[in-house]
Amino acid sequence: MRELGYVEGGNLVIEWRFAGGEIARLPALAAELVKLKVDVIVAGATPPIGAAQQATTTIPIVMAAANDPVGSGFVASLGRPGGNITGLSMLSADLSPKLVDLLLSIAPKVPRVAILVNPRNSSNAAILENLQAAIRRATAISLPVDAATAQEIENAFSRMSQQNAAAVVVAPDTLFVEQRQQIADLATRYRLPSMFSFREHVEAGGLISYGDHLADSYRRAATYVDRIFKGAKPGDLPVELSTKLELFINRGTARTLGLTIPADLLALADEVIE
C-alpha cells in the first residue's frame, strides 16, 4: 500500500483483527469490522473470507489467498465475480498431483500417505479429493486426518502413527500455517517426510513445499484495494490466479529423516535450507 501512495496514519487507517487460528472467533471479528464501517475488508484465507461474506453484502471484500473461490461460493466466476468479493485465487487444489509427485520423488517407497486437513475450511474438501486421487494413481493408500485446533493437530499425528502412515501431505490452511512449527516438530518426531504448499512450513523445519508465494499474493491484493478506493466495483474486477510458484527444500530435515534429495530436484529448488 505504501508503494501505491498510502501512508498508514495519514491517508490510510488499518483495523487489524486476528483470530489466532480459532475459526469460531471469525464471525464476531468480521461483525466488528462491519460495525466500524470500514471501506474494504481484506481476508487472507477461506474461513475469514467466508466470515466476511456472512457479515456484509455491501462492503467490498478482497481475497488475498482463496483456494477455491467459485466452489466456496464467494464469486460467481473468476472472470465475472459479481457481488462484493474479488481478489486472488490460489492454485493449491490444482497442484495436488504435483505435490504428491514431489513427495514421492524424495520418499518413493511410502505405501501409506496421511493427509492433514482442516474440516472447518471449506476449500480443503476439494484439495483432499484431488490429493486422494493423486495418491491412488501412485498406487499408495491415502489416510485423511482432520484437525481444527492445535491440540487436534497433536492428536492427528498420533493417529497417523497408529495407522502406519509413512509420509504426510498438509493441506493449505491458515491454522496450519500459524502452527507450522508444531507441525514440523511433529513430523520430525514421528519421522514422517512432509509435503506442504507454503515455504513458511519448510523454514520451520518441514521437508518440502511447492506452491503459491503468500507474500506476493498479499502484495497483489493491495492493487485491488487501491482500485476499489478509486471507485472500481469488486464485482467488475476479475479474480486473478496466483502466478508465482516456488519450491523449497529443507535438506537438514532430509538428513534427519535419512532421506537423500535427488540432485535434479535440488537444482530446481528456489531455495535449499541446510
- Decide: helix, strand or coil at residue 247: strand
For 30-86, the pLDDT digits (tens) are: 999 999 999 999 998 888 999 999 999 999 999 998 878 998 899 999 999 999 999
Model pLDDT, residue 214: 83
The more confidently predicted of residues 90 and 237 is 237
Strand order across the 61-66 sheet: 41-43, 61-66, 85-89, 240-241
Kindly report whether the global pTM for this prediction surpasses the value 0.85.
no
Q: CB neighbours of 132 closer than 8 A, spacing ≥ 6?
A: 115, 142, 144
For 125-138, the pLDDT digits (tens) are: 889 999 999 999 99
Model pLDDT, residue 92: 63
For 186-199, the pLDDT digits (tens) are: 999 999 999 999 99
For 196-255, the pLDDT digits (tens) are: 999 999 999 999 999 988 888 899 999 999 999 999 999 999 999 877 789 999 999 999
The band of 270, judged by pLDDT with boundaries at 50, 70 and 90, is very high
The band of 150, judged by pLDDT with boundaries at 50, 70 and 90, is very high
Contact 181, 205 (CB under 8 A): yes
Domains present along the chain, CATH in parentheses: 23-90+213-244 (3.40.50.2300), 96-212+246-273 (3.40.50.2300)
Q: Is the pLDDT of residue 21 over 80?
A: no
